[in-house]
Structure 1
Amino acid sequence: MWNNFLWVILPYLIFASFIVGHIFRYRYDKFSVTAKSSELIEKRQLMIGSILFHVGILFVVGGHFVGLVIPKSFTEAIGMSEHTYHIIAVGIGSVFGVMTFIGMFLLTYRRISHKSVRRLSSSGDIIVNLTLLLTLLLGILSTLFGTKEVPGFDYRESISIWFRQIFMFRPDANLMAEIPLLFKLHILSAFVIFGLFPYTRLVHAWSVPLSYLKRRYIIYRKNPS
C-alpha cells in the first residue's frame, strides 16, 4: 500500500499542487513573486553563495534531465558504454552537486546566522532553504554511496523508467520497490521541493529577466557640476 501511495499516487498529488498553486499565485498574489533581496544588508556571502548555487543548479538540473528523460538505449545507440556514462555522470554530477550544496549552505547559514537577514526572512524562506539543503545532501550521498546497499544498481533501469512512466500515466510502483534507501529519500525530498514551489519564494525562478538580453543599453552620463 505504501509503495503504491509513494510512487503512484503521491507524484500526481504533488503535480496537481504544483499546477494549481501556480494558477492561484498568479491570479491572486502575483506581485509577491520576488526573491526579497537582502543585498543591502549583507553582500559578500550572498554573492558567493548565490553564484555557486545558481551556476551549480543549472548543471544539476541538466544532469537529472539527461539521466531521467533520455533512455539508456539512446546512449548505447550512439556508442557510449555504461562505464563511460557512469564516469561522466558521477564525475560531473559530484562536482556541480558539491558546488550547489556549498552555495546553498552559505545562503542558509547567512539567512539563519545574520540577525537582520533572519528578521527579513519568513518561516517559509527558512524551510525552503533547509529542504533544498537536505535534498542536495541526499543527492550527493546517493551518488557517492547509494549503490553500496544494492550492488550493481542502475537507476536508469528503474528510477528513470518509472519517472518517464509518470508522464504516460502508468507508473509501475514495483520498479521502486528495491531502490536503495538514499535514492528514495532524495526523491521524496525533491517531492517536498516541488510541493512547496508555488507557495514560496522559489516561484521567483520563473521571473528570470530574459528581456534584459534584448533591451537597449541604458546610458548614464556624469553630471559635470
Structure 2
Amino acid sequence: MSLDLLAFGVYPYVALAICLIGSWARFDLSQYTWKAGSSQMLSKKGMRVYSNLFHVGVLFILAGHFVGLLTPHSVYEHLISTEQKQLLAMVSGGFFGILCFIGLTGLILRRLTNERVRATGNASDLMILLVLYVQLILGLSTIVASTHHLDGSVMVMLANWAQSIVTFQPLAAAEAIAPVSLVYKLHVTLGLTLFVLFPFTRLVHIVSAPVWYFGRRYQVVRTKRRAV
C-alpha cells in the first residue's frame, strides 16, 4: 500500500469514523462537556473583536472549501473558467484567511497572557487553537503556492480527490492528489486530523445550537426575595 493511498485514500475514512463515533459517544456519555467553554465572563478585553474576526473568517473559509471542493467541474464550467475560479478562491480565501488569522492570533495571545483565562483553561483548549493556527498558516501558504500555477490545475486535482472520497473511490482519490506539492498535502492531512480531534475538544460546539430550549417542558422561575 502506497503512502498516498494510506494518507489520502484510507485515512479520510478513519478520521471521519472517529469523528462520528467519538462525537456520538461523547454526547451520549458526557453531555455536560458538550460546550465551547467560553472565557468571556473572565475577561472581555479584546474577546468580542478577536472572536468575531475568527468566527466570520473560519465560517466563510469552511463554506468556500465545501463548495469549491465538492462542486463538480461540469456544474460551473459554463459559468466560470477554472482559472477564474482559482483566482476567486485565492482572493476570497486570502481575505477571510487574514481575518481569521488576526482573530486567532488575538485569541491565542489572550489565552497565553491573561492570567485568569490561563488559570481556568486546560491544555486541550490551547492545543486545538495552536493546531488551527498551523492549519491556517498552511492554508495561507497554499495561496502563495497557487500563484505558480494560475491555470487551476492543482485546484482541479484537489477537487477530484475530495469528490472521489465522498463517492467511496479511495484509489482514485490517492491518484488524484499524488501529483500536488507537499504544502497542499500537509494542509489536507492536518485538516483530516482535525476531524480526529473534533470529538475530544471544544470543537464540538460547532454543531451545537440552543435548539433544546424550544422543546423543553419546563420553565425556570426565580422567586423574588422580599426585603426584610
TM range (shorter): 0.7 to 0.9
Q: 2:186 & 2:19 partners in 1: Cα distance?
A: 20
The aligned residue for residue 111 of structure 2 is 111
Residues 32, 211 of structure 1: alpha-carbon distance in 2 compared, 3 angstrom cutoff: closer
Residues 56, 110 of structure 1: alpha-carbon distance in 2 compared, 3 angstrom cutoff: same
Structure 2 counterpart of 1:19, one-letter code: L
**1:205 equivalent in alignment to 2:206:** yes
The aligned residue for residue 29 of structure 1 is 30
Structure 2 counterpart of 1:197, one-letter code: F
Q: 2:61 & 2:210 partners in 1: Cα distance?
A: 21
Shift of 1:209: 3.2
**RCO (CA 8 Å, sep 6+): is it higher in 1 or 2?**
2
Question: Contact between 1:71 and 1:156, CA under 8 Å: does it hold in 2?
Answer: no
Structure 1 counterpart of 2:70, one-letter code: V
Shift of 1:174: 1.6
Question: Contact between 2:83 and 2:150, CA under 8 Å: does it hold in 1?
Answer: no
Q: 2:206 & 2:10 partners in 1: Cα distance?
A: 27
Question: Contact between 2:82 and 2:151, CA under 8 Å: does it hold in 1?
Answer: no
Q: 2:6 & 2:81 partners in 1: Cα distance?
A: 35
**1:130 equivalent in alignment to 2:130:** yes
Shift of 1:66: 1.6
Superimposed CA distance per residue, residues 77-103 of structure 1 (whole angstroms, 9 cap, x where no aligned partner): 2x2123332232111111001111111
Q: 1:19 & 1:88 partners in 2: Cα distance?
A: 32
The aligned residue for residue 164 of structure 2 is 165
What stretches of structure 2 of length at least 5 have no aligned partner? Answer: 215-228
The TM-score, its normalising length taken from structure 2, stands at 0.86
Shift of 1:196: 0.6
**1:40 equivalent in alignment to 2:41:** yes
Q: 1:11 & 1:40 partners in 2: Cα distance?
A: 38
Q: 1:37 & 1:167 partners in 2: Cα distance?
A: 34
Q: 2:25 & 2:159 partners in 1: Cα distance?
A: 31
Q: 2:118 & 2:92 partners in 1: Cα distance?
A: 34
The aligned residue for residue 97 of structure 1 is 97
Shift of 1:183: 0.8
The aligned residue for residue 187 of structure 1 is 188
Residues 88, 157 of structure 1: alpha-carbon distance in 2 compared, 3 angstrom cutoff: closer
Structure 2 counterpart of 1:163, one-letter code: A
The aligned residue for residue 57 of structure 2 is 56
Superimposed CA distance per residue, residues 136-156 of structure 1 (whole angstroms, 9 cap, x where no aligned partner): 1100110122453x6755234
The aligned residue for residue 139 of structure 2 is 139
Q: 2:59 & 2:20 partners in 1: Cα distance?
A: 22
Q: 1:51 & 1:123 partners in 2: Cα distance?
A: 23
What is the RMSD computed on CA atoms of the aligned residues? 2.0
More displaced 10-residue stretch of structure 1: 61-70 or 152-161: 152-161
The aligned residue for residue 223 of structure 2 is none
Q: % of aligned pairs identical?
A: 32
Q: 1:52 & 1:195 partners in 2: Cα distance?
A: 25
3-state DSSP class of the match of 1:137?
helix
Superimposed CA distance per residue, residues 19-61 of structure 1 (whole angstroms, 9 cap, x where no aligned partner): 1101110110111111122112221221111100111111111
Q: 1:188 & 1:147 partners in 2: Cα distance?
A: 22
Task: Count how many residue pairs are aligned between Structure 1 and Structure 2.
Answer: 212
Structure 2 counterpart of 1:39, one-letter code: Q
Structure 1 counterpart of 2:93, one-letter code: G
